[in-house]
A and B are shown apart, each in its own frame.
Chain A
Amino acid sequence: MLNYAVRRLLMTIPTFLIVAAMVFTLIRLVPGDPAAVMVGDLDDPTVLAEVREQLGLDEPLPLQFGMWLQGVLQGELGTSLMTGEDVLDAMLRRFGVTGQIVAISIFLAMLVAVPVGLLAAWKQNGRADLATMTLVILGVSVPSFWVGILLILVFGVELGWLPTIGYVSIGDDFGQGIRYLILPVAALLLTEMASLARMMRSSTIEVLRLEYITHARAKGLPERTVLWRHALPNAFAPVLTVLGLMLGSLLGGAVVIETVFTLPGLGRFLVDGIYARDYPVVQGTLLLVAGIYVITNLVVDLLYPIFDPRVRL
């Protein structure tokens, strides 16, 4: 177990390095001189040379990368060209917003999708199963940002029940904060629920065919125990992996949802950074998102043996 954990941990180091190299190179590929972008319209060769010196742009590329990476490891991601803010500080503050809507929606989606998937698999091809599968295919086909727009149209514009744009932190005002979160979370929820339920269903169908389930039934255990005690933990393991992988598409989806609801989250930060050609922001955000993704998948892989003790990589 320890051996597996250590090896899995070591595997993330080259991945991290290459992720960092990609983020670094990407910005260097932008046509034009980064120093000129930073200096802007100020057409003064001495200032330009100074900024080049500061950024280390005259050094050879591998050395530049080394210096940059060293900074990154010490948490120095530079300052935003738009606002002059420290990129790391700004990112961490905005991460709270994105983290909230993603975490709440994943939690709610699991709450619904796991039992629904399990029961659909139990009565495979039954009426409830067919209804579930129909909803699933509709759910994965409707883009979450359009769901968001429709929710704004119905609950904001027509009924006027909920705020449609902006954000209040639940730390400042819990009741108001929740009201601002309802629609964005609901918009992300539909697609997540659908794909998790589908995964849970097919994984349960696989498990229910195994001999230990037949054995449990032959022992005369009630169906409820067979399903929830015996089938569920085993069927859940692959769903957990998918959940880790889904986080990527969720963070992607959050970018668009944050734009729809004008939430001050990480995704909006990245998009604004791209519009403004604010490269420290773009670099920092990409690095953080990729980092979160790598770490989540590490955690998922480390958790896996708990659900499926046969895993010994």
Chain B
Amino acid sequence: MLRRANGAIGVALLTLVAVTALAGIIGTPYDPLVLSFEDRLEAPSAEHWLGTDQFGRDTFSRLVTAARTSLAVSFATVLLALSAGTLIGAVSGYLGGWTDRIAMTVIDALMAFPGLLLALAIMAVVGPHRYGVVVALGLAYTPNVVRIVRGIVLSVREKEYVEASRALGNSELYTALTHAVPACISALTVIGTSIFGSALLSESALSFLGLGVPPPAPTWGGLLADATMYMDAAPWLSIFPGLAISLTLLGINLFGDALRDYLDPRMNRL
């Protein structure tokens, strides 16, 4: 019962963040990029709900705009990791033999790099760039997907319905993608949700370090990095971006837990 309530809270939080992010397309109270030096570092007020930053930009407008960037980058990362991971995992698990052995050794080696560090290293090569972040994070999370998809494909490979498809004269690749991959869908939904959370966190960390989506585009991590320079004069600047990241992550985690309980009834009793 409580579990269900948690899931509902998660969905509500995510809806709130997504709606806010989308509303930002229509407009924000102030232009998030326009500087206004007479309004520097103002405390929250009726005019500037969450105060202003060191250049007099409205924090609320910047947070809303940043939400769109964070969500879009995380979503694109999930799509990239899931599609690349599914393709590699399915082919590797289905074909087996040397293909599988080589692919798995490479995946093992990739997994030896902590996700964030791998993304950092790739960002070092491609330089700070919006799409660079997606590629870096996507690559960092692909190995996890490969592992899971491969495991499931290995277990269904010998099932009769896969055998039947082959007997009908379908190609190996066709059989793998149309019959083995669908068996992975519920696992992919769960891992996709978890990658979304990790990607959001890593994207914030990268932009906090100045190696994510480049300025002047506002990002939650970038807002936090700016805020740390003014902790004395404007402590509120450090509060709201972190709160935004945490609430979004809380939403994803609550939703993810509920989803896993729903898709994996064996875990229900835990």
Contacts and interface: CB of A to CB of B under 8 A. Distances in A.
A149 B224 contact: yes
B120 A271 contact: yes
Interface size class, chain A: 35 or more
B228 A30 contact: no
A157 B232 contact: yes
B209 A259 contact: yes
A248 B122 CA distance: 17
Contacts of A60: none
A293 B242 CA distance: 29
Interface in A264-301: 270-271, 274-275, 277, 282, 286, 289-290, 293-294
B234 to A, nearest CB: 11
B209 A252 contact: no
Given A15-B105, A157-B232, A256-B205, A137 B250 contact: yes
A130 B1 CA distance: 12
Nearest to A147: B242
A14 interface: yes
A251 B209 contact: no
Query: Secondary structure at chain B's binding surface: helix, strand, loop or mixed?
Result: helix
Nearest to B119: A252
A18 B105 contact: yes
Given A157-B232, A157-B235, A205-B270, A290 B112 contact: yes
B261 to A, nearest CB: 12
Given A15-B109, A260-B228, A289-B114, A145 B123 contact: no
B15 interface: no
Contact of A15 (B2, B108, B123, B246): B108
A154 B245 CA distance: 20
Contact of B249 (A143, A270, A275, A277): A143
Nearest to A209: B269
A198 to B, nearest CB: 10
B146 interface: no
A150 interface: yes
Contacts of A248: 113-115, 117
Contacts, number: 132
Interface string B21-64: 00000000000000000000000000000000000000000000
B117 A252 contact: yes
A29 interface: yes
A108 interface: no
A249 interface: yes
A19 B204 contact: no
A122 to B, nearest CB: 14
Contact of A293 (B114, B204, B250, B254): B114
Contacts of A275: 210
Given A22-B110, A293-B112, A143 B238 contact: no
A152 interface: yes
Contact of B205 (A29, A143, A157, A270): A143
A30 B121 CA distance: 11
B253 interface: yes
B100 interface: no
A130 B249 CA distance: 20
B12 interface: no
Contacts of B250: 137-138, 141
Contacts of A47: none
Interface in A114-133: 130
Contact of A251 (B110, B117, B247): B117
Interface in A239-267: 248-249, 251-253, 255-256, 259-260
Interface of B: 2, 6, 105-106, 108-110, 112-117, 120-125, 201-202, 204-205, 208-211, 224, 227-228, 231-232, 235, 238-239, 242, 245-247, 249-250, 253-254, 257, 269-270
19 contacts: A14-B109, A19-B112, A26-B121, A29-B125, A137-B6, A137-B250, A138-B250, A140-B253, A141-B249, A143-B204, A149-B231, A150-B242, A152-B228, A248-B115, A255-B209, A274-B124, A289-B113, A289-B114, A289-B117
